[in-house]
Structure 1
Amino acid sequence: MHGSMTANNGDGFDQVARDAVYRAMFTRRDVRSHFLPDPLDDDVLARLLLAAHHAPSVGFMQPWNFIVIRDAERRRHVRDLFLAAREQELPAMEADRQALYRKLKLEGICESALNICITCDRQRSHNSPLGRWHNPEMDLYSTVCAVQNFWLAARAEGVGVGWVSIIEAQALKSLLSIPEHVTPIAYLCVGRVSEFAARPDLETHGWGQRLPLPELIMSETFSGQGEALLKTSVSRLNAASVGLAPKP
């Protein structure tokens, strides 16, 4: 790790560091293709896990664990779970989307260098209700913050990450010997890639488009109109126009 990690004042980052943070956010991709067969260096993986471990957590509970999965046979079993879950999910799709759904590449379980399952221990710090008395699911949300930290750090390192959500949780718990009180949150495919796509795969394939941000900003209440100046500022921005990501 380069430089000091001590937060000693209230200043923001310099322009180069600030742009790097935003670039990681704007160019992060859910990688399913383009994985290379190259192994992932343990020093790099250690930095990604350290970044994940420094995610915010309500009540400083740090409910996460990280299961590193390298074994090829175990990963094949996980992929079998994915294939079964995909067939179960297919009938829920509208008829005109089922054909596209079948064509989509939705995982890189066996192609990536390794897999990581990030879990949430629902009993960790269970004696302390700080931040969870009225919302007991804050441990789950905290774990998702660790996923995001891992993902952004991976992008900065040139490492691809793909989140495989089409897996039945109980079957995955059985395969990975996850205790009953622990919830699997994210199953990630991790490895070096040949490229990061200019746009999200699902956008490229016509599954959906990014929603206009001004339409998602409310004022004071959920139905509140206003913030016209803010919305105008937002409308002027995009990743390319502010130099935070290369233009496609």
Structure 2
Amino acid sequence: MPSFDAEFRTKLQELFTWRRDVRHFKTDPLPPDALDRLLAIADQAPSVGLSQPWRFVLVEKDAPRAAIRSSFEVHNKAALDGLDGDRAELYATLKLAGLDQAPVHLAVFCDPDPDQGGGLGRQTMPETLDFSAVGAIQTLWLAARAEGIGLGWLSILNPDDVSNALDVPIDWRFIAYLCIGYPQQETDTPELERAGWEHRSPLSQRIFRR
């Protein structure tokens, strides 16, 4: 087993700190082998019953990308229309998608009943399949950050719109639409915090003892 010393643990903490949700990307392409390498790392994420239920869909063609952007525009406007006053003004200034800049678009789905894993561990909590897919996304996110690559998670989308645009099996569950590329700005502070939308609360508010 490799040894992870104090210096490594310090660098790992820095990686966690600098892993941010990126919304402003450079248009520079990734190195030719970067995405394959990152997806191979993501595929090592833990999964319930070793089911590996994540399904990665690279969105490379203009038509599906345009359909995704159309869905975002509709639902982003609906979100804005649901706000009033200062909150609406602030929301309108936020850049909530990297769709026009990020060179890589990656949709992540979950196979709800994969043969792999034999159903182990998910009889009482089938949602652990979705949790496993999210774990793969977090693994991808950290691996990308370690290479100076940013990732943005776009959630202002209708899942049915995404599934239809990408022509995936009807039973796959949509988990995430990810924009991947080099960030325009490096920061260790969440963009929404810098913009004044929200501020991180103390960890003590999220720890409970029984």
Q: Normalised by the size of structure 1, how large is the TM-score?
A: 0.79
In the other structure, the counterpart of 1:40 is 30
Q: Which runs of 4+ in 1 moved over 6 A?
A: none
The letter of the residue matching 1:148 is: Q
Unaligned 5+ runs, structure 2? none
- 1:27-176 correspondence runs (5 A): 27-33=18-24, 35-93=25-83, 95-125=85-115, 128-176=118-166
Per-residue deviation at 1:201? Answer: 0.8
Please provide the CA RMSD for this pair.
1.8
The letter of the residue matching 1:204 is: R
Aligned with 1:116: secondary structure?
A: strand
8 Å contact from structure 2 (residues 50, 117) kept in 1: no
In the other structure, the counterpart of 1:193 is 183
Deviations 1:3-51 (A, max 9, x none): xxxxx37x5x122322222211110111111x11211123111221011
Across the two proteins, how many residue pairs are aligned to each other? 210
8 Å contact from structure 1 (residues 75, 110) kept in 2: no
Unaligned 5+ runs, structure 1? 1-7, 222-248
In the other structure, the counterpart of 1:238 is none
The letter of the residue matching 1:18 is: R
The letter of the residue matching 2:13 is: Y
Q: 2:171 aligns with which of 154, 170, 181?
A: 181
Per-residue deviation at 1:94? Answer: 5.0
In the other structure, the counterpart of 1:229 is none
8 Å contact from structure 1 (residues 117, 188) kept in 2: yes
Determine which structure has greater relative contact order: mean sequence separation of CA pairs < 8 Å that are 6+ residues apart, divided by chain length. 2
In the other structure, the counterpart of 1:236 is none
Aligned with 1:42: secondary structure?
A: coil
Name the CA distance, whole Å, in 2 between partners of 1:42 and 1:123. 33
8 Å contact from structure 2 (residues 23, 95) kept in 1: yes
Aligned with 1:123: secondary structure?
A: coil
- 1:5-24 correspondence runs (5 A): 8=1, 13-24=4-15
Name the CA distance, whole Å, in 1 between partners of 2:117 and 2:10. 41
8 Å contact from structure 1 (residues 24, 155) kept in 2: yes
Greater Rg, structure 1 or structure 2? 1
In the other structure, the counterpart of 1:246 is none
Q: Normalised by the size of structure 2, how large is the TM-score?
A: 0.93
8 Å contact from structure 1 (residues 70, 113) kept in 2: no
Per-residue deviation at 1:182? Answer: 0.4
